[in-house]
Amino acid sequence: MLKSKLAIISVCFWIFAGCQQSFRATTSEQFINTQGLSGSHNGLESSEQDSKKINGSRSSTRSGFDDYEKTDLSESENPSDQENGDSDLFAQQKIDEALELCNSAQEMWEEGKIEDALSNLDDAYASIMEIETETYPEFYQQKEDVRFLISKRILEIYASRQTVANGPHNEIPLIMNNFVQDEINSLTGPERNFFIQALERSHRYRPYIISELKKAGLPEEISWLPLIESGFKLRALSSARALGLWQFIPSTGYKFGLNRDHYIDERMDPEKATLAAINYLKELHGLFGDWTTALAAYNCGEGRVLGTIRTQKINYLDNFWDLYQKLPRETARYVPRFLATLHIINNLEKYNISIEQPLSPIPYRTCEITNQVRLSDIADEIGVDAAVLQDLNPELRYAMLPDETYQLRVPEEKAELFLSKADSIKSTSSPLPQTSYITHRVGKRETLFSIAEKYKTTPEAIMDANNLGKARKLTAGRKLKIPDASDDQGTPKTAARPGKLEKTKTVQKYTVQRGDNLFAIAEKFNTTTKSIMAENKLSGTTLTVGQNLTIASGKQISPPKETVTRYKVKNGDSPLSIAKKHKISVDRLLALNHLSKKSKIFPGQNLIIQ
C-alpha cells in the first residue's frame, strides 16, 4: 500500500511537470477538456469525456496505421519499414493497454474501490512509460494525452476523498507498520501498568463520550483518544499547559467554548471538554479529509500541519504517513500510539491484559446553589466523601464554589437531602488561592531565561520561588519550582478589581470565503465557534462559500501595549554583534533580557531588542 502511494506521488509529480510543458506547446485541446475539478460527480463525467476524446485520437491513429499495413511492401523505399511497423504496433498496444486500465480504474472508483483504482492508474502509467518518444515520435502526443488523463483521474479520486466532511463512513484505518508495532511494544511492556490503570479509569467516562460521538456521527474509536492524551485523568497537566481529559491549551479551549476564571476551568470537566473536543475534531476532519492527519493536527495544531503540507511539492497527497517524517517527534509518535491503543484494545487476551477494578460512572443530579461554599462543607452535611464531589465537579479549581449561582453535581441518592440543607450550609469567604508550582529539572545548557520562556513566566519569579538571590548560574539536574502561569493571581471576585478592562460587544456580518472554517473565523473575530453556531442557529460545523454569518465578537479595550521586537540568536552571534546590528548599546540589550556581562547566549534563544 505504501509503495503504491509513493509510486503515485512520483507519477503525479512527473506527470504535471511533463504535461504542463507539452500542453503549452500544442493545440490538442480537442483531446482533453482541461477545466478544473468541480466535485466528484462532475469529475466522473469529465473523466468519461476525456477517455472518449483520447479514444477518438487513438482511433484516428489506428486508421492511419491500418492504411499503412495495407501498403504493399514492394512500394516501400526501405525494407526496414516492415520492422518499424511492428514497433509502431508495440507502441499502439501500450496506449491501448493504458486506456483500458484507465477505464477499469474509472469503474472501480465508481464502485468505491479507491485503492484498486489507484493501483490500475499506476499500471497504466507504467505502460505508457515503456513508449520512448525518441523511438516513436509519432506517438508523442498520444502518450502526453494519456499521461494527462492519468494525472487528472488521480486528482479526481483524491478530491472526492476531501469532499466528505465527516461521519462514520470513513472510520479510522487500523494500519499496522513498524512505528505502530514499536508503540504496541511500549504500551504492553514498560508502560503496561499505565495502560491498565488508564483502561480502568476509562470505564467511568467512555459511555458519555461514545454517546456524544454517535450523535456527532464520528467514529467510536475516538473515545480512546484520552487514553494517550491524559490516561483518562481529569487533572492531567502537560508542560505545554494543556489540561484535562482532552488536553486543551487555554486558547484552543476558549475558542471552543471552555471558560476559565479564578474559580473554574472547564477544561477539567469531562462532559464540557468532550463536546469541545468533538467540535474541534469535526473541524479538523473537514479540513484535512482523513482521520490520521486530523489527529496529528489535534496534537500539534492545524497551523503546523498545514505549514508542513505547503512545503510539499505535491500538496494534494497529504495523508499522515506522507507527512510523518516532517512533523514534530511527539506528533509523529502520537498517531502510531493511538493506532497501537486500538490494536491492543481489540486484542486484550493476546496481550494478556485484564481489567480488575474498572471505575463505574457516578449517577448524579444537577442542583442549583447560590451560596459560595466549600465542597468539603457540603460533603459533611450530606454524608459523602469530599473526593466524590470533586470527581463530579472537577472544573472547580480550588474545591470551592464561585460567588454566583452555580449548577452543582450531587450524587443522585443525596440530591434531595442536599436541596433541603443547601441554604443552611455555611458560606465561606474567598481567600486568594496560594500559588501552585510545577517542578522542573534543569537540563544541559538551560538558563533562567530559557526556562522562564518555556513556562511563560519571568526569571525573577523563578528566582523568588527558589530563593536564588543573585545567583543566576544553574547546574544540570537541579530541580526548580516554577510558578504556575495558569493561575489567576488577582483579588477574589467578591472584591472590586481596580483597573478592570471594559468589555464591548460588536455585531457584524461576514461572508464565508473559500478555505474558511468555523475555528478560523472565530479566531479572526476573537470569539468562539459555539457563539457563532448559536448566533446563526447552525446545527453543524460545515460552511458553504458565500454563506452570510452574524458575528458577535467581544473585544477588550485596553491601553495600547508597547511593541516588543525580538531576535533569534544564530550561530556566531554575540551580545556585541547583536547590539551593533540593531543599533542599541550592549548594556541596554543585557538589561532588556535580564542578562549580565558574564551570561552566555545560545543559538535559538529569543532576545528582546526594544
Catalytic residue positions, numbered? 229
CA angle 392, 396, 397 (to 5 degrees): 130
Per-state percent for the chain, helix, strand, coil, to nearest 5: 50, 10, 40
The CA distances from residue 315 to 2, 225, 306, 322, 323, in Å, are: 17, 27, 10, 10, 10
CB 141 within 8 A of CB 28: yes
Mark out the alpha helices in 289-393 (DSSP H runs).
291-300, 302-310, 320-323, 329-345, 375-382, 386-392
Query: Which strand (E) or helix (H) includes residue 506?
Result: strand 502-511
Cβ-contact 338, 180 below 8 angstroms: no
Q: Which residues contact 371 (CB under 8 A, 6 or more apart)?
A: 401, 422, 423, 425, 427
What angle in degrees, to the nearest 10, is found between the helix axes of 270-288 and 192-216? 70
To 10 degrees, what angle do helices 114-128 and 81-110 make?
170
Q: Say how far apart CA 305 and CA 63 lie, in whole Å.
A: 52
CB 408 within 8 A of CB 421: no
Question: Which positions ≥6 away from 327 have C-beta within 8 Å?
Answer: 296, 300, 304, 305, 308
Q: Is residue 279 within 8 Å of 531, Cβ to Cβ? A: no
Q: Residues in the chain, how many?
A: 610
Q: How far is CA 227 from CA 222, 522, 579, in A?
A: 10, 29, 49
Kind plus residue range of the DSSP H or E element containing 586: helix 586-592
Question: What residues contact residue 8 under an 8 Å CB cut-off, 6+ apart?
Answer: 118, 121, 122, 154, 317
CA distances from 264 to 70, 403, 419, 486, 497 (A): 90, 11, 22, 12, 18
CA distance 393 to 269: 7
Strands in 383-486 per DSSP E:
406-411, 437-441, 479-483
Are 578 and 589 spatial neighbours (Cβ–Cβ below 8 Å)?
Answer: yes
Q: CA 138 to CA 84: how far, in whole Å?
A: 12
Residue 118: closest CA among 39, 36, 4, 12: 4
Rounded CA-CA distance 553/543 in Å is 19
Q: Which three cell numbers stand for residue 483?
A: 510558578
C-alpha cell, 344: 491492543
- Cβ–Cβ under 8 Å, residues 481 and 437: yes
Q: 3-class DSSP state for residue 365?
A: strand
CA distance 289 to 277: 17
Separation CA 480–CA 441 (nearest Å): 6
